[in-house]
């Protein structure tokens, strides 16, 4: 973890969820809020980082990278673990919540997780724990996302 900076792992996992939810036909998991929370600029930056093999010096704000250009790298090295882990955890959580209506869910290393927004069980209390810089980054993104959603209406 680099001090005074949000977690790049959180950003990569968020990107993987957003990409999968947008482009995958056979979804194992649908995080329909991941892209909105990231925002287009951050989404495009992470996409470039993947294509440029994480070389920050090679980033080009004007580059137009097709989604298919990152598919192999994304599916081989990035998406399998977070998507499988989240799909499994949320499926098991729903089963548990069906048996125990009043429950708590603590997400350690929450990063840019959106479950607290997607959860429809009002008897479940969700707590997110992460590095302070990552939490600050996420709160800022939530504020920006909320503000843009309000302005669109």
Chain segment 35-82, per-residue pLDDT in tens:
999 999 999 999 999 988 888 888 888 888 887 788 888 989 899 999
- Structural contact between residues 21 and 118, judged by C-beta atoms closer than 8 angstroms: no
Q: What is the pTM of this model?
A: 0.86
pLDDT in tens, 9-18: 899 999 999 9
Q: Given the structure tokens 């309000």, which residue do they identify? A: 150
Looking at the DSSP assignment, which residues form a beta bridge with residue 144? none
Among 4, 3, 2, 7, residue whose Cα is nearest residue 109: 7
Residue given tokens 């479940």 in the structure block: 124
Q: Which of 20, 77, 13, 71 is nearest to 42 (CA)?
A: 13
Q: Which residues of 33-61 are buried (b: 16+ CB within 10 A; e: fewer)?
A: bbbbbbeeebbbbbbbbbbeeeeeeeeee
pLDDT band at residue 1 under the 50/70/90 scheme: low
- Bridge partners of residue 103, in order along the sequence: 124
List domains and CATH numbers for the chain: 8-152 (3.40.50.150)
* Whole-angstrom distance, CA of residue 124 vs CA of residue 114: 15
**Greater pLDDT, 37 or 29:** 37
Q: What is the pLDDT of residue 2?
A: 56
List pLDDT tens digits, range 105-150.
Answer: 999 999 999 999 999 999 999 999 999 999 999 999 999 888 776 5
DSSP run (H or E) holding 32:
none
């Amino acid at each position: 973890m680099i001090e005074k900076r949000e977690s790049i792992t959180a950003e990569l996992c968020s990107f993987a969820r957003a990409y999968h939810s947008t482009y995958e036909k056979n979804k194992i998991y649908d995080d329909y809020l991941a892209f909105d929370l990231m925002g287009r600029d951050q989404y495009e930056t992470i996409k470039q980082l993947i294509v440029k093999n994480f070389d920050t010096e090679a980033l080009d704000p004007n580059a137009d990278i097709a989604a298919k250009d990152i598919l192999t790298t994304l599916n081989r090295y990035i998406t399998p673990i977070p998507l499988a882990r989240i799909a499994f955890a949320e499926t098991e959580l729903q089963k548990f919540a069906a048996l125990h209506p009043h429950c708590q869910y603590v997400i350690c290393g929450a990063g840019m997780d959106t479950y607290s927004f997607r959860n429809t069980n009002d008897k479940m209390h969700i707590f997110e724990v992460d590095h302070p810089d990552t939490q600050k980054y996420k709160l800022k993104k939530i504020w920006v996302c909320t503000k843009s959603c309000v302005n669109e209406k």
